[in-house]
Structure 1
Amino acid sequence: MQTASEIKEFHNLINGSLVPSSCGGKMESIDPSNGKVWARIPCSTAEDAEDAVRAARQAFGGWSELTAMERSSYLRKIGDLISEHAEELARLETMDNGWVIRETSYGLIPSLTSLWHDAAGAASAASRGETVQLGPKSIGYTLREPLGVVVGIIPWNAPLFTFTIKAAYALAAGNSVIIKPSEHASAASLRFGEILNQILPPGVLNVIAGDGEIGTVLVSHRDVNRVSLTGSGNTAKAIVRSTAMAPKPLTFELGGKSPNIVFSDADLEKAAAGVTLNGIFTGNAGQLCVGGSRILIQKPVFEEMVLLMKKAMKEHIKIGDPLNPEATMGPIANEVQFNRICSYLEIGKEEGGEIIAGGRYGGKQVLPDLPMLHEGYWIEPTLIRVNSNSLQICQEEIFGPVAVVMPFDTEEEALRLANDTNYGLGAGVWTSNLDCAHRMARKLESGTVWVNTYRRVGPELPFGGVKESGFGTDSILENTREKTCIIEAG
């Protein structure tokens, strides 16, 4: 256990000031690579949540009255400032949830800079309306207005990315923002808020850590005008109940059970790397909502693909200390999620699934040669062969480095299996047949379809889900409301 002097302390950001919880309560943040306490974060109260809403409401007036160009200037400065703190932020994100430093350093942090710069460029879109000639003397036009106070509830698996998606475009549209990070990974978000506070006026951005109690206060508050959640279906249902008496726009990006479909005419070596490495295992140890956790392979190439997938995993997945630049896969982010994934591994075996790669969990099993990491939350990348899509491990989101592998015969069967789930966030198709690619893209029940690639996103295109994977996006227009004005000339 670290000594008191080695444990970092983080504070809430409310109205431009760094403050502890009003009751003095704190929560411990655990390094998932070794199970040790590395930081303490505020365990905030309803009073703290009220203070954050009050600060955001007071700041909204001045911020919303700025021109789009003025707001854009602030956001562009934030994008520039992030690069100055890139190394620190990457390390904090890795310490928070175990996402390997090579991904947070070379992928995540640069993307944050790009997103803030993109939001700066999009600010003008929030002020554009339309004009309609209703008659010889009548004209109608629309105005776009900011909503007011926007609350962003972000998950533990990608805090800084979801923080940026929810805050940058809401601020660009003229709203003030409150970010509530997961109690399992708040440190990087609290520090990020502190850095952004160097640029933004007080109260325009507030960051408050705590458990579900403060989340309920925030989402149900009558002075909160929009709620955006990236998280679980259960949290979404709780938000719907909490906002019933004070309705407001809601955006939910929830779970996924995404299919990655490999046809026999695909480039199999490219597909094997795509469905295993980028598709699930090196994406924060499979802890991504869009992870391709159902790998469907056409029967003529099934055995060959399995061998190629195992080869790609053996050659390119290096499990180890997430702060080691050579590690490509780190630990599970927290003990609760570790236990959940382990239970699914046992369920899979009980259901008749055949583990064809991996399957071990626990520090000593997975990392016998690294005794300094025996106490962390470690699970091997695991492939489970199944013959029925009705199994629990095929229908429920595991959210970890576990994928089921299933054969199929025809394109029609692939579509049936792919769509046979309550989720619809992402889907992958691997084929050299352009007609097949277009047919699959149209018929897959998914917010995003990737063909011969996976998990590629950018601000130029929307990202969201269908079915129980949620609805809406965090685009700049969803952070505004349209007002209609009609003028009759004398």
Structure 2
Amino acid sequence: MTRDYRNLIGGELRAAADGGLLDSVDPSTGAVWARIPRSGPADAEAAAAAARAAFPAWSDLPAAVRAHHLRKVASVIGEHARELAELETRDNGRTITETSRRDLPAMAYLWGNAAAECTAAVQGRTVDFGPGSLGLTRREPYGVTLGVIPWNSPISTFSAKAAFALAAGNTVIIKPAEQATVSSLRLGELLADVLPPGVLNVVSGLGEEVGDPLVRSPEVDKISLTGSVGTARAITRASADSLKPLALELGGKSPNIVFADADLDRAAPGVTTQAIYTANAGQICYGGSRVLIQRPVYDEMIDRMTEIARGVRLGAPSSPDTTMGPIVSRDQFDHVTSYLDLAPEEGADLVFGGRSGPDAVEDEALRNGFWVEPTLYATTDNSLRVCQEEIFGPVAVALPFDTEDEALALANDSPYGLAAGVWTRNLATAHRMFRHLRTGTVWVNTFRKVMFPLEGVKNSGYGHDSVLAYTREKAGIIEI
């Protein structure tokens, strides 16, 4: 039996103004399991108005009081962690092991951390310009912020965009991706009585029908997007008339670079299950989809990667035995599998994998789901589309290199620059790669360890989510 979920607007749970609904599909089975509001311009207007009305009182609260509210949010997430994890797993196919053991505990911690940073949002500076002149600054919230979040990790990006913005004194509207919305709507339900009305609003629907009106709304003061380059361009164009500040965390084609002196026992899982053959099937913006391997260890690394890939278990995401889930939707499945046809046409050699749909999964109950098995191609030509374009699935390409300079050239030869991995025992090599890789984050002898806000370069975007990023500095000069 399907359940209908509702938006959170002004502290109330509401259906779409015109009653419209969208199906939420379980990507492991292809079956409809819930319905979400198909919101439109009227819902966007109501959410923006509610957030604007709530802003003065929320921003005027002492930082300690805002922190108290955010700690209550952290507590609610902790209390309902299992439920939220199960909803997210069913909605986007990320395995229950990942959502319950990694994502939800981390998000409870994030809200608590945001509470602790509330005081940072109100700290300004003073400058003595002489006996009769004092300069000072204060940090102020922007006002109403819009967080546009993706389908691959809804609760995590919801939390990053809402918690820090609220800590800084802003009010918030969250627009989830229509492919995976239920966990965000349920979190909105849980927080309806925790935060004052209008401080947090959650509105679902299609981008062109409700997202665009929210972006264009004169009541929205700042926008933070985690999503695709295409969505970023659309938001940039739509927000141009009002010159809203933007933070854009976009896609990636991250290189994972293995030097001959690396600890291969760590590097092999680091470039496979840690980076691209992940619990959510490589659907991560910083996925290590280009594996650059120095020639002396190239063959051994390929053998090790092949052995690890054989151990990846595709199956029901709700099972603790499953290590990789499905692709999130039919459209994304078609996108990923198009590269399985393209790669051999371009001349790339299939190392392992390549199966999709019912051929990739053994469970008969899952054969209508959107499955792609871990896949690796090999090539020496980094100009191939499979090396340059974001696939956003469990598909990687291995490229050999000889020298450090060649590795850098290959790694930086990409329109993206979100993250990179480096595997070496040589500290000097690590420092040089960290300095010269054109990416926002560099992991050395690890991958996907997110301890700082992600900020990209090139087509991977700019800006990030943090308390200070959701404030602006106002300067004053006082003559005494």
Find the aligned partners of 1:23 and 1:78 in 2 and give their Cα distance: 31
Larger deviation: 161-170 or 207-216?
207-216
Deviation at 1:314, TM superposition (A): 2.0
> Which residue of structure 1 lines up, in the alignment, with residue 171 of structure 2?
176
> Which residue of structure 2 lines up, in the alignment, with residue 302 of structure 1?
298
Deviation at 1:136, TM superposition (A): 2.0
Deviation at 1:135, TM superposition (A): 2.1
Give the aligned CA root-mean-square deviation in angstroms.
0.7
Equivalent residue for 1:449, pick from 442, 446, 452: 442
Pairing 1:41–2:36 present: yes
Find the aligned partners of 2:454 and 2:62 in 1 and give their Cα distance: 27
Find the aligned partners of 2:191 and 2:108 in 1 and give their Cα distance: 12
1:29–1:96 contact (8 Å) kept in structure 2: yes
Give the counterpart letter for 1:409 in structure 2: D
2:95–2:279 contact (8 Å) kept in structure 1: no
> Which residue of structure 2 lines up, in the alignment, with residue 473 of structure 1?
464
Pairing 1:228–2:221 present: no
Q: TM-score, normalised by structure 1?
A: 0.97
> Which residue of structure 1 lines up, in the alignment, with residue 7 of structure 2?
12
Give the counterpart letter for 2:225 in structure 1: L
> Which residue of structure 2 lines up, in the alignment, with residue 73 of structure 1?
68
> Which residue of structure 2 lines up, in the alignment, with residue 383 of structure 1?
376
Identical-residue share of aligned pairs (%): 56
Tell me the secondary structure at the aligned position of residue 280 of structure 1. coil
Equivalent residue for 1:250, pick from 246, 250, 256: 246
Find the aligned partners of 1:269 and 1:349 in 2 and give their Cα distance: 30
Equivalent residue for 2:397, pick from 398, 401, 404: 404
> Which residue of structure 1 lines up, in the alignment, with residue 360 of structure 2?
366
Deviation at 1:283, TM superposition (A): 4.3
> Which residue of structure 2 lines up, in the alignment, with residue 21 of structure 1?
16
Pairing 1:111–2:106 present: yes
Give the direction of change, closer, same or farther, for the CA distance of 1:190–1:321 in structure 2 (3 Å limit). Answer: same
2:279–2:325 contact (8 Å) kept in structure 1: no
Find the aligned partners of 2:342 and 2:398 in 1 and give their Cα distance: 16
> Which residue of structure 2 lines up, in the alignment, with residue 259 of structure 1?
255
Tell me the secondary structure at the aligned position of residue 274 of structure 1. helix
Find the aligned partners of 1:59 and 1:198 in 2 and give their Cα distance: 15
Superposed CA deviations along residues 58-100 of structure 1, whole A, max 9, x for unmatched, are 0001100001100000001111111110110000000110000
Find the aligned partners of 2:134 and 2:95 in 1 and give their Cα distance: 57
Find the aligned partners of 1:112 and 1:211 in 2 and give their Cα distance: 26
Find the aligned partners of 2:379 and 2:215 in 1 and give their Cα distance: 41
Tell me the secondary structure at the aligned position of residue 218 of structure 1. helix
Give the counterpart letter for 2:190 in structure 1: I
1:59-98 paired onto structure 2 within 5 Å:
59-98=54-93
Find the aligned partners of 1:198 and 1:327 in 2 and give their Cα distance: 36
2:9–2:46 contact (8 Å) kept in structure 1: yes
1:283–1:291 contact (8 Å) kept in structure 2: no
> Which residue of structure 1 lines up, in the alignment, with residue 151 of structure 2?
156
> Which residue of structure 1 lines up, in the alignment, with residue 267 of structure 2?
271
1:150–1:224 contact (8 Å) kept in structure 2: yes
Pairing 1:488–2:479 present: yes
Give the counterpart letter for 2:338 in structure 1: S
Task: Mark the runs of 5 or more structure 1 residues left unpaired by the alignment.
Answer: 1-5
Superposed CA deviations along residues 141-169 of structure 1, whole A, max 9, x for unmatched, are 00101110000000011100000000000
Superposed CA deviations along residues 394-423 of structure 1, whole A, max 9, x for unmatched, are 000000000000100000000000000010
1:269-348 paired onto structure 2 within 5 Å:
269-315=265-311, 317-348=312-343
Deviation at 1:313, TM superposition (A): 2.0
Tell me the secondary structure at the aligned position of residue 417 of structure 2. coil
Superposed CA deviations along residues 296-344 of structure 1, whole A, max 9, x for unmatched, are 00001100000011112223x1111000011000100111000000001
2:176–2:203 contact (8 Å) kept in structure 1: yes
Tell me the secondary structure at the aligned position of residue 150 of structure 1. strand
1:97–1:157 contact (8 Å) kept in structure 2: yes
Tell me the secondary structure at the aligned position of residue 188 of structure 1. helix
Find the aligned partners of 1:221 and 1:85 in 2 and give their Cα distance: 33
2:279–2:323 contact (8 Å) kept in structure 1: no
Find the aligned partners of 1:171 and 1:26 in 2 and give their Cα distance: 29
Give the counterpart letter for 1:216 in structure 2: D
Pairing 1:440–2:433 present: yes
Kindly tell me the number of residue pairs found equivalent between the two proteins.
Answer: 479
Tell me the secondary structure at the aligned position of residue 281 of structure 1. coil
Find the aligned partners of 1:21 and 1:48 in 2 and give their Cα distance: 7
Tell me the secondary structure at the aligned position of residue 8 of structure 2. strand
Find the aligned partners of 1:359 and 1:437 in 2 and give their Cα distance: 33
Find the aligned partners of 1:154 and 1:326 in 2 and give their Cα distance: 29
Task: Mark the runs of 5 or more structure 2 residues left unpaired by the alignment.
Answer: none
Find the aligned partners of 2:301 and 2:442 in 1 and give their Cα distance: 21
Deviation at 1:462, TM superposition (A): 2.8
Give the counterpart letter for 2:224 in structure 1: S
Tell me the secondary structure at the aligned position of residue 39 of structure 1. strand
> Which residue of structure 2 lines up, in the alignment, with residue 3 of structure 1?
none
